[in-house]
Amino acid sequence: MAVVEQHYPIGNRHFFQRASFTGSAKEYFGIWIVNILLTIVTLGIYSAWAKVRRNRYFYGNTVLLGQTFEYHAKGKQIFIGRLIVFGFLIALNVLSHIAPLAVLAIWPVMLVIFPWFLMRSLKFNARVTSYRNVRFDFIGTYGGAFKAIFLGTLITVISIGLLSPVASRWFYKYVFDNLRYGDRPFSTEPSLGAIYKALGAMIAIALGCGLVIGVVVGVSGIFEKVVVSSTEVVVGYFVIGLGLIAYMFAGLYYRVTIRNIVWSAAMIDHRHQLRSNLGRRQYIWIVTVNTVLTLLTLGLMRPWAAVQIQRYLAEHTAISLDGEIGEVFDQVRSTGGVISAEYLDADGFDFGF
């Protein structure tokens, strides 16, 4: 399949080149249905290898500057990582029955351990990904992960959410500033003010939806009677459903806005600029349609939904290179070369975070 680069101007000099996705729902359905069946037959064991097949398909069909990405993880690595996590959860469950009070002491420890799991997962997923025969890498430390996850969560809770934009900025800077393409660093400087605006918009959406729900409750009069009729029960469930939908829409709006802010503030090698311009309403519409169709078809439309969202994300992600394509990547390959298979195998396992 021929790949046609898509360009759109930014200012007078720079052109951003969009990514694209060349996969199809029909192709992915064949992979998906085999993954499902083998996972069921093997009582879930094959799910690790299913993840490898799925990621190789999506990475291999995501095109940027005429080349695709590659995913190099092995099913065994993912399976061992899942066994470790699963074994830990079983031990925790058994302990909760034998000594319930001991579990209370374990949770603080888990809060400290979780940043390490996240750090290892980010490192693993970066190192099993390559583009133009050059591997990505992640050099983040446990201390950075502890600040981004534990301290970020702590200040969010203490401030009743008012400092959540600060925590979000810590997290995304930890992820981007420690990511490498070969030996070339990523970086991002998202505006804290822009993140606060996104939070304000999310709160406004939630409050607006809450107002609508309040009107529905007031009109129905379900709180005016001591005896609740069957009709009022139905209305009550309807109100709860509206509340969940409002929460989902507000969360999706915030998620899309943050992605645009963070990615559009990101650079590679302090020269090449990234860009994300996802449409908020369009993204929410795609997610909503995907969810409804997947539920109505008992999951059979899941491959179509996955392809649709991946295509939309790819087509609204772009890069502007400072220099000629061939020269830029020749320089990267000459200094940040290919990571050996032995280096990958020694890197560990995917814990799924």
- pLDDT at residue 220 greater than cutoff 90: no
Helices 230-264 + 164-177 axis angle, to 10: 50
Strands (E), the chain: 6-10, 14-18, 20-21, 62-64, 67-71, 129-131, 134-138, 179-181, 184-188, 266-268, 272-276, 317-320
Which ranges constitute the DSSP H helices of 178-229?
A: 192-220
Please give the pLDDT value at position 138.
95
Rounded to an integer, the average pLDDT of 258-271 is 95
Given a cut of 80, whether residue 335 has pLDDT beyond it is no
What is the average pLDDT across 116-130?
A: 91
Those residues whose C-beta lies under 8 Å from the C-beta of residue 92, and which sit 6 or more positions away, are 103, 106
Q: Are 262 and 190 in contact (CB under 8 A)?
A: yes
> CB within 8 A of 94, min separation 6: which ones?
none
Pair 274, 285: CB distance under 8 Å: no
Q: Work out the mean pLDDT of the chain and round it to a whole number.
A: 84
Q: Residue 34 — very low, low, confident or very high, per pLDDT cuts 50/70/90?
A: very high
pLDDT 10s digits, 157-216:
999 889 999 999 999 999 999 999 988 999 999 999 999 999 999 888 878 877 777 776
pLDDT number for residue 331: 81
Contact assessment for residue 107 and residue 86, using Cβ atoms and an 8 Å cutoff: no
Half-sphere CA count of 164, side-chain side, radius 13 A? 14
* pLDDT at residue number 81: 83
Half-sphere exposure (Cβ direction) of 158: Cα atoms closer than 13 Å: 8
**H-run or E-run covering 37:** helix 25-41
DSSP code of residue 72: -
Dist. CA 171–CA 165, nearest whole Å: 10
- The pair of structure tokens assigned to 157 is 């809770």
314-353: b or e for each residue (b if 16 or more CB lie within 10 Å)?
bebbbbbbeeeeeebbeebeeebeebeeeebeebebbbeb
Residue with tokens 């939806």: 209
Q: What is the pLDDT of residue 221?
A: 59
Whether 323 shows a pLDDT value over 80: the answer reads yes
The closest alpha carbon to 45, from 69, 20, 16, 76, belongs to 76
pTM: 0.83
Percent of the chain with pLDDT over 90: 56
Vertex 128: Cα angle to 126 and 130 (nearest 5): 85
Residue labelled with tokens 């203490």: 158
Residue 331: which H helix or E strand, with range? helix 325-336
CA-closest candidate to residue 247, choices 213, 275, 215: 213
Q: What pLDDT is recorded for position 308? A: 96
